[in-house]
Structure formats: structure tokens, C-alpha cells
Amino acid sequence: MPFTPVHMGPGILIKALLQGSFSLMIFGWTQIVMDIQPLWVLISGEGALHGSSHTWLGATLLAPLAALSGKHLSEFGLRLLELSSFTPISWRTCFVSAFIGSYSHILLDSVMHSDMLPFYPLSEANGLLGLVSVATLHKFCYLSGAAGMVLYVLVLAWQRAIETES
């Protein structure tokens, strides 16, 4: 996948489904954290493009880092936006969002990148490679993002309708 943006589609759908129990900002931050190692390889020309950060073990180790740093960065960003409904992001939400972000990153990238070794060091097999075409994978990401946006707006409208009835 190109750096990070395409991964956001499924994140938007998950946000619509989980609402306040999921932070899209921390999910997005996790996508960036996951792609720092490939970015370094592209800049330096050294190492495997989808190396240790793109394994289930790497995702498991990077998720807490993304949660810990993402909580403070996200809350700072939300305060800068001066959102009247700002509430601190719970630690549980931080960790749930970061783990969903890191694991979904591995899942999506495993389908399309031939250099992915998601089960390394236990195995060098990638049984997800080519499961669907890259075009189909991208369509899934775009459509899940669009569906998530529509669902999110519908849920907000429904919540507001309930509040006005009360």
C-alpha cells in the first residue's frame, strides 16, 4: 500500500462501529509508526523494505509504543482544534486502537507485498499473499472508508434524534 492513507478506510469503518471505544487518530498514528521502518529503508537503501516492523511480532511490539505516544499526541491535536466535545482518550481505547491499527496493517500489507514475512521468525511463509488482487484490496479499503463515513453520520444523526426526544 502507499504510505498509510489507504489503510485508513477500514479504520473509518471501525470508528463508525465502535464510536467512542476507538480512536481514529491513534489508529492513523499507528499506521505511521508501522511505516517508519519502510520509510527508512527507502531513504537509506539499507535493509528489507517490509522487515521486522511488518511481522505479527513487530506489530505486537509497536502497538504499545503507538498507544503510549499516540494518546498524548492525539489529545494535544484535539485540544488545538478546540473541539467543544473533547474528552481525554482512555488508555483502553488507546491500546485497542493501536492494536487494531498494527494488526490490520500487517493483514492488509500481507495480501499485496511479496516481501512480507508476517510470521517471521517462526515461518517465512505468507499465506495471504495474492488472496485477492491489489485492485480488489484497494477497493475494499476505499469502500470500507466510504461505508464508515456514511455509517458514522447516520449514527450521529440517530444519537442526536434520541437526545432531542429526551
State the pLDDT at residue 2: 45
Question: 120 is written with which cell numbers?
Answer: 517471521
Residue 117 CA to residue 129 CA, distance in Å, equals: 10
Given this model, what pLDDT does residue 82 score?
78
**Which stretches of the chain are assigned E, i.e. beta strand?**
none
Taking the mean position of all CA atoms in its chain, how far away is CA 100? 6
* Cα 41 from Cα 48, distance rounded (Å): 7
Write out pLDDT tens, residues 38-89. 999 999 999 999 999 999 999 999 999 999 999 999 988 888 887 667 788 9
Handedness of CA 140, 23, 2, 49 (dihedral sign): negative
Would you give the distance in Å from CA 52 to the centre of its chain? Answer: 18
Indicate whether 24 pLDDT > 50. Answer: yes
Which residue has better confidence, 103 or 87? 103
Question: pLDDT at position 58, please?
Answer: 98
What does the pLDDT look like over 112-163, one tens digit per residue?
999 999 999 999 999 999 999 999 999 999 999 999 999 999 999 998 999 8
End-to-end CA distance of the chain: 46
What is the value of pTM for the model shown? 0.92
Sorted by sequence, the CB contacts under 8 Å of residue 22 that are 6+ apart come out as 14, 15, 93, 96, 97, 100
